[in-house]
């Protein structure tokens, strides 16, 4: 049984640093979403790969700007719909800089949906230390995801929310936050999926960021990426099993390639996956027109067509 049979719902699952590349010893993520893509996984696709549950298509992450795609500009583009590399004239790594900050305040997808009266929320669990370490810095030290949530004015989910089953940490299983000294138990991907669906009872749009793929891709750590694949697959499959895919969907996208080629510690020029699991026929049809990162935010706006601001 799905979460809600009366309104369309969307989980926006952003996964940092995954591209589409042929199978090889250096491609440690090709097994991602094999179940949802009927065995294809994340391999290069010409046009659109359609299966019963999903649509997979390649998205250009270069956006007409010379150089290797980077996180700050790629994520800004995904979360606002503005071609951030073209806006700056170059690809920017790490955190959005001063010229990019107004884009979040004006164009954040979460802000736009919230302004239309659509209940939005984020899933990621934050710690107070995260904000204390970054506030007051001379330059912006907040990632694009945090700026996106902040622009919507919805509360950040904290450790207290997680203890009520209302948040998920960025690595899904809590391994990383435990290494940082927090007394939080390890959980399975399936338990994280239960938390996700609990949060979805409160909102129609849910945003979740996972960055471990980019983290381990830069370190060329194949075994750790194999573990990431197992965790993500377990998590997504558990979500899919409990969702009504005729009205509810998971949109999975990335900002640039990386972990699909660990022969290098750098990002790649490969296209990134756009994967839509579920959704109405109208929204599946809309998704087929996506070609690059600038198309994702407009697609998410259109996903909730007909939902207007309260009078």
* Cβ–Cβ under 8 Å, residues 28 and 225: yes
d(CA 167, CA 287): 28
Token pair of 80 as six digits:
């606002």
Phi-psi label, residue 41: left if phi above 0, alpha if psi -120 to 50, beta otherwise: left
Q: What is the pTM of this model?
A: 0.95
Q: What percent of the chain has pLDDT over 70?
A: 96
- Half-sphere exposure (Cβ direction) of 277: Cα atoms closer than 13 Å: 25
Cα-trace Rg, the chain: 18
d(CA 295, CA 123): 23
d(CA 97, CA 119): 29
- The domains located in the chain, with CATH, are 9-303 (3.40.720.10)
d(CA 149, CA 273): 23
Q: How many residues does the chain have?
A: 311
Q: Hey, how many other C-beta atoms are within 10 angstroms of the C-beta on 6? A: 6
d(CA 306, CA 97): 35
Span 77-81, mean pLDDT? 98
Distances (CA, A) of 233 to 36, 67, 172: 9, 31, 11
d(CA 110, CA 203): 12
Token pair of 158 as six digits:
């904290």
Kindly give the pairing relationship between strand 157-158 and strand 125-126: parallel
Is pLDDT of 309 > 70?
Answer: no
d(CA 149, CA 102): 14
Q: What percent of the chain has pLDDT over 90?
A: 94
d(CA 6, CA 247): 8
* Highest mean pLDDT out of 134-143, 169-178, 298-307: 169-178
Q: Convert the pLDDT of each residue in 237-274 to its tens digit.
A: 999 999 999 999 999 999 999 999 999 999 999 999 99
State the sign of the Cα–Cα–Cα–Cα dihedral 270, 171, 196, 145. negative
Span 61-90, mean pLDDT? 98
Please report which confidence band the pLDDT of residue 307 belongs to, taking 50, 70 and 90 as the band edges. low
Token pair of 190 as six digits:
């399936």
DSSP 3-state assignment of 275? Answer: strand
d(CA 279, CA 12): 12
pLDDT of the residue at 7: 76
Is pLDDT of 306 > 80?
Answer: no
Please report which confidence band the pLDDT of residue 286 belongs to, taking 50, 70 and 90 as the band edges. very high
Residue entry with tokens 């994280």: 192
| DSSP structural state of residue 209 | E
């Amino acid at each position: 049984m799905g979460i809600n049979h009366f309104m369309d719902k969307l989980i926006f699952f952003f996964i940092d640093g995954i591209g589409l590349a042929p199978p090889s010893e250096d491609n440690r993520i090709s097994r991602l979403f094999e179940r949802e893509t009927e065995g294809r996984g994340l391999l290069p696709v010409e046009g659109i790969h359609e299966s019963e549950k999903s649509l997979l298509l390649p998205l250009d992450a270069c956006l007409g700007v010379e150089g290797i795609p980077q996180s700050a500009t790629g994520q800004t583009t995904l979360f606002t719909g503005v071609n951030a590399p073209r806006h700056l004239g170059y690809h920017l790594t790490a955190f959005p800089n001063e010229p990019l900050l107004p884009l979040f305040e004006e164009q954040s997808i979460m802000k736009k949906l919230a302004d239309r009266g659509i209940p939005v929320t984020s899933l990621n669990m934050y710690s107070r230390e995260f904000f204390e370490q970054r506030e007051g810095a001379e330059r912006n030290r907040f990632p694009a995801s945090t700026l996106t949530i902040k622009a919507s004015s919805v509360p950040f989910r904290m450790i207290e929310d997680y203890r009520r089953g209302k948040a998920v940490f960025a690595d899904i299983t809590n391994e990383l936050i435990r290494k940082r000294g927090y007394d939080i138990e390890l959980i399975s991907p399936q338990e994280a999926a239960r938390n996700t669906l609990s949060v979805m009872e409160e909102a129609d749009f849910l945003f979740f960021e996972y960055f471990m793929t980019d983290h381990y891709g830069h370190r060329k750590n194949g075994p750790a990426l194999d573990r990431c694949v197992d965790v993500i697959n377990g998590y997504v499959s558990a979500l899919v099993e409990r969702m009504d895919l005729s009205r509810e969907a998971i949109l999975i996208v990335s900002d640039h390639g990386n972990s699909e080629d660990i022969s290098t510690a750098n990002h790649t020029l490969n296209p990134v996956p756009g994967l839509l699991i579920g959704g109405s026929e109208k929204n599946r049809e809309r998704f087929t027109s996506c070609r690059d990162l600038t198309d994702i935010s407009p697609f998410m706006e259109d996903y909730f067509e007909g939902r207007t601001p309260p009078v």
